[in-house]
């Protein structure tokens, strides 16, 4: 069953659906990166457009016209071009996306302090406390949609429901540029018509397990004994049973801590020289550690990602004795993880370095090494941060990175 075959809650001649008790909104921008990029290219609206770079990069976003040809986010650009050769390709403008995202989040904050961002382009809002001031939830949702379209020139879809889970399902069905209200009495019927893959926690492997049990719709899960689901899926089975009845007790959490900070680089050509990989890891480690310091966070675990020319990807991680935001610590750990792979001239297309297990710097006192001078590596990093803030990123860098051009693709990922 495709998403467009799902049945939205019915509307009657008497008016729109009853939104009583539906104070949770999920707002999701429509093809956000593509829509934002088209603000400067209005002549491309209504045509297939792909946001990405080069044949070796990946698709960041695509217009709905391009998606009809099978183009999807994170797809290799080479494949996207084959699927939709007539598409226009636009390079990403991350500064623009960040600016619009901040403006949209500021609009949310004017409605309610209970805003839980999930990414640059989507968030949950709890508007129960705003109903007396601004009107029913559906009215608030429509005001948000109108304000964002008028002020930012991009559209969004909104799900209005009593719980986060149902609101997110509804916003997905409302796309593009729509709104769906799921009244409290209709929640169970709305959820149980969906295929099992619609439930949170159901990936490809879990979907296969459910299919082997003969469970293909959410209604099938709802009417399966919890004990049976637990035997097959562990505690995840019990959680899926709750969702199958539309039960989701989670509240909207205004502040979400980053779980990881890191950078990836897709090379312009495959690299098989370990020394060159070390240079790239050094640059990524410095970038990752600098971003951690800027966020006032430290990480307990350093993670390495390596993607080969055939797109096979492996990850390795090591947990440190103490959390760190020191570039040298991150690099030495990432380098050791790479060297431990003992690769023999393998052709590599991407490497990534990530700090995980984040804690606030204020809660993780810096522990200096016994043989470290009074002004150690962290002081050097902080001095570089100050120089970068004044003269621009890259004004001060290790000698081994002089002459190294910027990477083809570099991203900071957050949940």
Q: Which residues are annotated as a binding site for Mg(2+)?
A: 28, 121
Q: Is the dihedral of CA 72, 74, 80, 86 positive or negative?
A: positive
The residue behind tokens 């081994």 is 400
Decide if 219 contacts 136 (C-beta within 8 A): no
* Strand, coil or helix: 363: helix
Tell me which residues are annotated as active site.
122
Six-digit token string for 66: 């391009």
Query: Which neighbouring-strand residues pair with 306?
Result: 314, 351
Describe the crossing of helices 137-152 and 94-111 by its angle, rounded to 10 degrees: 150
Give which of 10, 399, 374 is closest to 186, Cα–Cα. Answer: 10
Pairing of strands 156-161, 179-181: parallel
In angstroms, rounded to a whole number, what is the distance separating the alpha carbons of residues 133 and 71? 43
| Peptide bond connecting 8 to the previous residue in cis, omega within 30 degrees of 0 | no
Q: What angle do CA 219, 225, 228 make, to 5 degrees?
A: 110
Decide if 218 contacts 201 (C-beta within 8 A): no
In angstroms, rounded to a whole number, what is the distance separating the alpha carbons of residues 137 and 112? 12
DSSP of 181-250: E--GGGHHHHHHTSBGGGSTT--HHHHHHHHHTT--BHHHHHTS-HHHHHHHHTHHHHHHHHHHTT---P
* Strand, coil or helix: 145: helix
Expressed in percent and rounded to 5, the helix, strand and coil fractions of the chain are: 40, 20, 35
Give which of 113, 34, 53, 75 is closest to 311, Cα–Cα. Answer: 75
């Amino acid at each position: 069953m495709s998403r467009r075959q799902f049945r939205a809650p019915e509307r009657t001649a008497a008016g729109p659906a009853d939104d009583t008790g539906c104070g949770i909104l999920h707002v999701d921008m429509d093809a956000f990166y593509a829509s934002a990029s088209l603000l400067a290219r209005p002549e491309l609206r209504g045509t297939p457009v792909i946001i990405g770079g080069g044949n070796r990069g990946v698709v960041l976003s695509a217009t709905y016209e391009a998606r009809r040809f099978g183009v999807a986010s994170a797809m290799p650009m080479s494949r996207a071009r084959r699927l939709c050769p007539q598409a226009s390709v636009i390079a990403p403008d991350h500064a623009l996306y960040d600016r619009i995202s901040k403006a949209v989040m500021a609009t949310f904050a004017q409605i309610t302090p209970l805003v839980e961002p999930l990414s640059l382009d989507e968030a949950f809002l709890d508007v129960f406390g705003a109903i007396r001031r601004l009107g029913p939830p559906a009215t608030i949702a429509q005001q948000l949609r109108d304000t964002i379209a008028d002020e930012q020139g991009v559209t969004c879809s909104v799900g209005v429901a009593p719980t986060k889970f149902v609101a997110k399902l509804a916003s997905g069905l409302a796309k593009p540029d729509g709104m769906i209200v799921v009244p409290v009495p209709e929640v169970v019927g709305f959820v149980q018509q969906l295929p099992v893959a619609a439930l949170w926690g159901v990936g490809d492997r879990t979907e296969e397990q459910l299919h082997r049990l003969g469970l293909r719709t959410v209604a099938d899960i709802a009417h399966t004994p919890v004990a049976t689901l637990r035997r097959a899926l562990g505690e995840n089975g019990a959680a899926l049973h709750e969702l199958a009845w539309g039960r989701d007790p989670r509240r909207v959490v205004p502040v979400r801590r980053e779980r990881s900070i890191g950078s990836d680089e897709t090379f312009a050509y495959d690299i098989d020289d370990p020394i060159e990989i070390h240079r790239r890891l050094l640059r990524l480690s410095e970038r990752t550690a600098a971003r951690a310091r800027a966020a006032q966070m430290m990480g307990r675990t350093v993670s390495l990602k390596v993607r080969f020319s055939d797109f096979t990807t492996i990850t390795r991680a090591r947990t440190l004795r103490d959390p760190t935001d020191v570039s040298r610590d991150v690099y030495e750990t990432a380098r050791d993880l790479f060297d431990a792979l003992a690769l023999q001239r393998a052709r590599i297309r991407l490497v990534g370095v990530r700090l995980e297990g984040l804690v606030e710097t204020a809660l993780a006192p810096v522990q200096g090494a016994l043989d470290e001078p009074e002004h150690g590596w962290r002081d050097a990093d902080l001095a570089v941060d100050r120089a970068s803030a004044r003269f621009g990123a890259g004004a001060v860098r290790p000698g081994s990175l002089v002459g190294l051009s910027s990477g083809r693709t570099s991203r900071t990922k957050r949940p």
